Amino acid sequence: MADPKFQCLPYIAHDQPDVYETPDAPESETSDFYDEEPANESIERLHISTKDSYNKFKGKYLTGNVDFSDRIGKKIRNGYDAVSGEWDLAGEGEKETPIQKCLRLQCEMNELMEEITASQADATKTKEEKASYEAVFDVVGTAKKVLESLKLEQAIGSETVAMGAETEAKKLLTKIEEYKKSGGADPAKTATELVYSSRIAELEHRLHELEVAVGAKPEKISRLAGSAGAGNLIEAVQSISAKAALLQPQQLDLIETRLGNLLLKMAAIDEKSAATGQDANREQKILELYEIAKTTEPIVQILPDMLNRMQTLESLHKYGEFLEGKFF
């Protein structure tokens, strides 16, 4: 039975026996692990370190190009091959993927820029050589920006990380190595050529951005030029720029004023035409003359020749009548 002191309190079950909760067991007496059975020689227990396992497989991945078949071939088929994150160049005769070429080119450009920076900091280099290195640095930096703007990893997949390269980068590295070995090239001429190369690379980058914005297909360019009423892309851009300039606030006020004056003149012309009250018969005759003139449009070009021929025939007829009256 409930205690009499709880009789006046709500939510008390008076018709049920009292229940007393036992205290919780202390944490020292509890265990979250499963109690293993005593040592048994028939059971082999492996002691594995999670830290050592993590370090062993850190930076490695599984490639998807695997073959578990037992077919006979030149290459050995080992199934999955866990490789590290260090990438090697493709062997002779093997074709590189676009991701491999892109990443290898980026790595080579970074190494080249680091070498150029170290060469510029060398106090033994002359002023002309430092200027040449600076021009090369600008060329490589521009080419790197163009490569980064392609976003090839996002288009193909960023999970596959590989090294890649381009023929142009190899040629550039070869030229720089030859320049370092020769040491007898004209610094002024080399600097001028590198400046031109930097300018060409910048123009190629701008052309690439223009192709991305407008499109490289001739159909898109012709559609843009046709909508702007121009013959080529430059005229289309100039036409669009002129139309955009008219939308400036100071130009809008001027256009609004001109349109207001034009509306006033058109209203005055309408009032004058309504006041004169032109005759309906006159309007009908004007329409008939317009239709006649419209039907004679095909012979308008030959009309002067016809008139000239008729005048010639008229003089000939008069001369014939004169001869007929004289001899007969």
- pLDDT tens readout for residues 137-177: 888 888 888 777 776 655 555 444 434 445 556 667 777 77
Q: Is the pTM of this model over 0.85?
A: no
Highest-pLDDT range among 118-122, 204-208, 222-226, 275-279:
204-208
**104, pLDDT greater than 70:** yes
**Bridge-partner residues for 164, per DSSP?**
101
Q: Which amino acid is at 274?
A: A
Position with higher pLDDT, 66 vs 183: 66
Confidence of residue 84 (pLDDT cuts 50, 70, 90): very low
As a whole number of angstroms, the distance between CA 198 and CA 191 comes to: 10
Residue 34 confidence (pLDDT): 53
Report CA-CA distances (Å) from 212 to 200, 205, 207, 208: 18, 11, 9, 6
Convert 195-211 to b/e letters by CB count within 10 Å (16 or more is b): bebbeebeeeeeeeeee
CB-CB contact of 163 with 109 (8 Å)? no
Percent of the residues in the chain that have a pLDDT greater than 90, as a whole number: 1
* R_g of the chain, CA atoms, integer Å: 47
- pLDDT tens readout for residues 30-54: 655 555 566 777 877 778 888 888 8
As a whole number of angstroms, the distance between CA 195 and CA 187 comes to: 12
Burial class (CB in 10 A: 0-12, 13-18, 19+), 100: buried
Confidence of residue 90 (pLDDT cuts 50, 70, 90): low
Token pair of 1, please? 């039975």
Q: What is the mean pLDDT of residues 24-33?
A: 63
Half-sphere exposure for 122 (CA within 13 Å, toward CB) = 13
CB atoms within 10 A of CB 276: 8
Token pair of 206, please? 């701008």
Residue 81 confidence (pLDDT): 52
DSSP secondary structure string for all residues of 12-43: --TTS----PPPPPPGGG--SS--PPPP-TTS
Residue 163 confidence (pLDDT): 41
Confidence of residue 262 (pLDDT cuts 50, 70, 90): very high
Mean pLDDT for the chain overall: 74
